[in-house]
Structure 1
């Protein structure tokens, strides 16, 4: 275990959770970066034939849950590839062992390991490791956000028409079609739209001032938990439909000043709708 990271926002338990999250994400990132086979194959599909799981997703989740379970056997787990236990300690780990699986499958660099810790249902620690960038993002509730050893702050808010915003697309074709129509209506109102392929990385890029905003429908708790905390601790705003928290219906993160006008357009254009019915 590495030396404890200075954490102005937490006590001994949060320090322990942060150290464990950092170590677990680093180990999984090294496995994924160094162990990727040249003939990497799809192990299974989820919602559609393009929503894939590789053998490495499964191996990374086993590594993370095994490591955390060894150190904290009473904790619960929620993981993208099936880890789900209630635990008895009040702590639950929310894990995406490989966010950006399709990028990883194609040897594109934008993928990440996301590890968050909740205490009594509230996210208190978030770590997103992006191995191909050599970056590890981290945050604790009330303690700020960092990438490696550099403090993060959101980008100063431009007028909406000068904002660079990222999004993602669902794997179900009818939902993708609707999302593309929303994006087509948004593009004339923004500087431009990006599609990186990893929600966790997009949220961290909002925190780092590399994006003015991000939105997506259809995200799961493991997509959001760590990255959303990092974005908030860097001063960005996060939420869902107006007045609601981020959820699978809609997740939005943006610099203050961009968040409200972007959210208003997303509501007007029906970005929260799945395009069916």
Structure 2
């Protein structure tokens, strides 16, 4: 059944995409225009390297306030705040700065990610995105899509449709991936990568899952995998990939925090065949 069929009858996904674009750009401008000169780490989360800056918090506050103004009956799930359900059947999944370490170091590869989803907020892994936007405020690139409407990249007044790579040969594929904040998990991920890297053209680690997925949609990367992505890391990006003609899967079918593999179907199937047998790189308690 089409994702659109799960939408409330009075909701147009194109309208949700418009809202996603608006709030993503608003927050993106905030984190660039109002970045403190002496920006530092405000707090940490899962480890000393999993950081939050004051601008992460300010960006999420802005996103929540603007969404409450425009869509007061919707729910919100954000990285830096508590979630709340709404009465409309729509939940906004937001990442106020995806790529916070890049942001801290002024590496221009970070983004605001905003997605409108359907599903039960009590099971956030299973929320299904129906509209979304990812905005890189440094390059001013706005990636956006809605279910059934295709994916596009807008820069100022210029807009173009996105399509995933046509590459089918893994040996010629540029692979994207990422690493977790926990040092033991990074070591396992690196060990797997040593097996994979010889089977592809080369590997890129950008540092923002949202931008990795958008790079897949734009054909800048051929295929991508990562473990440990939360719903706010991937919701908008996975829709943009799907609307650009790509496939996004997990260990069994749908992507989850355990695994995301994205790209053209042929490459996704090949990459999954490489990484799935070695499941201990995802979780050492798993059976291979």
**Same fold, TM exceeding 0.5?**
yes
Mapped partners of 1:83, 1:219: distance in 2: 18
Number of aligned residue pairs: 267
Counterpart of 2:282 in 1: which secondary structure? coil
Give the 5 Å matches for 1:57-76. Answer: 57-76=56-75
Which whole-Å CA distance do the structure 1 matches of 2:281 and 2:69 have between them?
A: 40
The answer on whether the counterparts of 1:157 and 1:256 sit within 8 Å (CA) in structure 2 is no
The TM-score with structure 2 as length reference comes to 0.89
Residues 1:91 and 1:12: Cα distance change in structure 2 (over 3 Å):
closer
Q: How does 1:127-276 map to 2 (within 5 A)?
A: 127-148=133-154, 149-241=159-251, 243-270=252-279, 273-275=282-284
Deviating beyond 6 angstroms after TM superposition, the runs of 4 or more aligned structure 1 residues are none
Give a deviation string over 1:90-149, Cα, whole Å, max 9, x none.
Answer: 110000010000000000000000000013443110100011112000000111000011
Aligned partners of 2:165 and 2:263 also within 8 Å: no
CA contact 1:33–1:131 (8 Å) conserved in 2: yes
Residues 165, 271 of structure 1: CA spacing in aligned structure 2 closer, same or farther, 3 A cutoff?
farther
Q: CA deviation at 1:271?
A: 6.6
Q: Could you list the per-position Cα deviations for residues 191-246 of structure 1 after superposition, in whole angstroms to 9, with x for gaps in the alignment?
A: 111110000000000000000111100110001100000001001111011x3211
Aligned to 1:35: 34
CA distance in 2, matches of 1:45, 1:123: 28
Contact 2:188 / 2:281 at 8 angstroms: preserved in 1?
no
CA contact (8 A) 1:94 1:222 kept: yes
SS at match of 2:55: helix
Matches within 5 A, 1:74-85: 74-85=73-84
Q: Work out whether residues 179 and 271 of structure 1, in 8 Å CA contact, stay in contact via their aligned partners in 2.
A: no
Q: Is the contact made by 2:111 and 2:208 (CA closer than 8 Å) also made in structure 1?
A: yes
Q: Which whole-Å deviations, capped at 9, do the CAs of 1:162-204 have from their partners, x for residues lacking one?
A: 1111111000111111001011111111111111000000000
Give the superposition deviation at 1:36.
Answer: 1.2
**Could you say which residue in structure 2 is the equivalent of 1:113?**
112
Q: Give me the whole-angstrom Cα distance separating, in 2, the residues matched to 1:151 and 1:271.
A: 38
Secondary structure of 1:193's partner?
strand
**Distance in 1 separating the partners of 2:73 and 2:220:** 38
Unaligned segments of structure 1, at least 5 residues:
1-9
SS at match of 2:196: helix
Distance 1:262 1:34 in 2: 40
Take 1:46 and 1:220, find their aligned partners in 2: how far apart are those partners?
14
Secondary structure at the counterpart of residue 12 of structure 2: helix
Kept after mapping to 2: 8 A contact 1:125/1:139: yes
Q: CA RMSD in A?
A: 1.5
Structure 2: runs of 5 or more not aligned: 1-6, 120-126
Instruction: Give 1:89 shift.
Output: 1.1
Does structure 1 conserve the Cα–Cα contact (< 8 Å) formed by 2:74 and 2:87?
yes
